[in-house]
Each structure stands twice: as C-alpha cells, then as structure tokens.
Amino acid sequence: MMKVIIAIDSFKGSISSIEGSKAISSGIREVYEEAEIIAFPLADGGEGTVDALVQSTNGQFINVSVTGPLNSRVDAIYGILGDGKTAVIEVAAACGLPLVHQKDRNPFLTTTFGVGELILDAIERGCREFVIGLGGSATNDAGVGMLQALGFRFMGQSGHEVGFGGGVLQDIDRIDTQNVHSILADCTFKLACDVTNYLHGTEGAAYVFGPQKGASEDDVKKLDNGLKHFATIVNQEIGKDIHTMKGAGAAGGLGAAFFGFFNAELQSGIEVVLSILDVEQFMHDANFVITGEGKLDSQTSMGKVPMGIARLAEQYQVPVIAVAGSIAEDATQLNELGITSYFSIMNTPMTVEEAMNPETTYNNLRGTTAQLFRLIKSVGR
C-alpha cells in the first residue's frame, strides 16, 4: 500500500498548513484511493506554530487578556498540547510588532510583560513544560517585562523599581528575586528559534532588529548600551554570562532572559516541532514525503519546514517532493540538501492576488499533487 507523509508549512497569506494538507491528501486519493496518508501540519517556530501543534496533538487554544507591548490590554492566544502539561506560546501574540501601529513603535517603551502573563496563566492551568516561539516582537527590553510579570524586581540606584521598556535597562542596578513565582523552578523551557544573534553588539538585538521596531540610528546605540549593561548586571547578580550566548538577541533579547534566568534550551524551530509530534516514528516505511511552503528559495535551507523534514527523511532514504507557490532560481541547491524534486503549483498565468486566493491555492495544490502521483503510479507499473 502507498504510504505518504504530508508535512508542509502554511503558504503565508494564502492557505494554512492544515488546509494545504487536506488539498494534497485529496490529490493523492484521486490516484491512490486506499493510500495511507499521515498529515503533519507544521511550522518552524514562528507564526502558525501554536496552530500546528495544537491541531496535531488534539490540544486546546487558550485566549487570555494580557498587557500588550504599549501597556494596554490585548487578547492573546496560546496553546496547551494534548498531553495537558505542555504550553506553546508565540511571544508575538503578546508583544508582536503588528500590535503596534507604525507611528507608535518605540522600543524604549515597549514591554514583554504580557509574555510573562501568558506563562503565569499556563502555570495556573497545570503546565510545567513550555515551547516558546521567539520572533516578531516589537520590544527591545531583554525580557525584563516578562520577568517582572513573573515576580522578578529590577531595582535602580535610587532603590526604586524600574518601569517598562528597553529604555530602563541602563538604570538597573540590582535584581530582587524574593517574590519570584515558586513553580518556575519546576518548569522547563524550549526555545523554538532560528535566530542566532547575540544580545548586544553590531550583530545584536538593537543593531539588527531595532530599526524595524522604530529605533533611529542614535536610538540603536543607546538601546545596545542598555542591553550590554543588563548583561553585566545579570552576570553580577545571578552569575549567568549572557554576553556571548547565541540566540540571546532573539525577540529583542527575550532569548537572554530565558537563558539567564530559566536555563532554557535553544533549538531550531522545526526540530522542536518535529520532535514534539514524533514524526520520525512514521518515517521508516513511507514511500514518499510531501513538503512545501509558499516560496522555495535559498532561505528554505536555513531552518525552514521543507529543509527540516528533508533532513529527517534522508535518514530513512525516503524521497521528498516539495511543492510551492513560487520557486526562485537559487532553489536548485535544495536538491543537494535532501529534497528529491520540487514543483510549482502554478499552472497558468495569473495575478499575485489571484494566486494568493485560498481557493485557488487549494485547487492548485490538489491538482498538482494528483498529476505527480499519476506519474508515480505509471512508473510504478
């Protein structure tokens, strides 16, 4: 019997990985009605990770009102997996750049406090294991806001507690841990992230990501000094050196907070997802793996879903077929990295708007898949 694993990312702005998987499955069944099809809607740790993991594990979505990046209330969604003890949080749900209007973006003020509130809510619901999707934040506060929500107090030289935002980092003189939530000691954190930037310096959070968050050239220098100062205080106060940790600069320095205060483990986003879903156990006797995303290009090889699943399939010598809305000229390198062959689902000239229409994408995925498996069946004879 034909056994196919479907493991695609969403086609961003067009179709979810769940609906895309249904389209591909439908195309396979046009040719192999009795095929065994196992679908894993995937994400790489960024947008869509909560959806993919909750759906695949029969978990639940939790909607919570939290403190947004500019200290006003926002509704944020996170997930609890089917095991009932693992929470999946995308930090952008609480402090994401889209939550701040372009004219209001100011990393001196924006806070990660809401991320801490999501963690607290999950703890109250019995979660002790956390998967944190880092990325897309509007912040540059090194996770201080998140830590404040969890009971950490950051004191200035005057003896008063500092406020919110990246602008307060330079003022921190001491860290008070007396009121930290006691359950945190029993929690483990996995960071799903492919950003390897350091906390500070020219390759750090402020210099690389600050401008898109509203920082001017002069602002970037001040923010970077604040991040460096914070790392020094952390080393002095709790004995953790976060100056040179790769990934510490992710999400405006949230990576540094997780590393320094919670001993978090940094992993490739897609590797975290594949591990949680235990995709490997289904791989050994599969005939084909179908993967894909909106666009295949050189960036695909840098921790994206198709590359992660291709590396896993390669261990079992399972052919990998990738489908995409568009394919860049530099995608040819993917053949050398584990993707057996790739195909565009575009079969006729159309505008970008038409191509991005969810119904069009669904039909193109189904039709392209059906044609591929007609060829496979013919060759199989």
Which DSSP state fits 2? Answer: -
pLDDT at 45: 77
State yes or no: pLDDT of 380 exceeds 70.
yes
pLDDT band, residue 46 (cuts 50/70/90): confident
What value does the mean pLDDT take over residues 310-323?
95
pLDDT at 187: 97
pLDDT at 329: 85
State yes or no: pLDDT of 303 exceeds 90.
no
pLDDT at 55: 87
pLDDT band, residue 159 (cuts 50/70/90): confident
Mean per-residue pLDDT over the chain, rounded: 93
**Higher-pLDDT residue of 249, 157:** 249
Find the range with the poorest average confidence among 63-77, 169-183, 274-288, 296-310: 296-310
pLDDT band, residue 119 (cuts 50/70/90): very high
pLDDT at 319: 97
- For the segment 102-115, what is each residue's pLDDT rounded down to a tens digit? 999 999 999 999 99
Domain range annotation of the chain:
3-42+299-380, 49-267
CATH architecture of 49-267: Alpha-Beta Complex (3.90)
Q: Is 59 helix (H, G, I), strand (E, B) or coil?
A: coil
Residue whose token pair is 């991320």: 115
- List, in sequence order, the alpha helices (H) in the chain: 17-29, 49-56, 92-95, 113-124, 144-149, 205-209, 217-238, 250-262, 269-277, 305-314, 352-356, 358-380
- For the segment 201-245, what is each residue's pLDDT rounded down to a tens digit? 999 999 999 999 999 999 999 999 999 999 999 999 999 999 989
Which residues, in sequence order, are bridge partners of residue 321? Answer: 290, 341
pLDDT at 44: 78
Q: pTM, whole model, 2 decimals?
A: 0.86
pLDDT at 270: 87
pLDDT band, residue 166 (cuts 50/70/90): very high
pLDDT at 269: 85
What value does the mean pLDDT take over residues 58-85?
97
Pick the CATH number of 3-42+299-380 from 3.60.21.10, 3.40.50.10350, 3.40.50.360, 3.40.190.290: 3.40.50.10350
What value does the mean pLDDT take over residues 78-102?
96
State yes or no: pLDDT of 32 exceeds 90.
yes
The full DSSP string for 308-369 is HHHHHHHTTT--EEEEEEEE-GGGGGGGGGT--EEEE---S---HHHHH-HHHHHHHHHHHH
State yes or no: pLDDT of 381 exceeds 70.
no
The span from the first CA to the last CA of the chain, in angstroms, equals: 14
Do the Cβ atoms of 261 and 247 come closer than 8 Å?
no
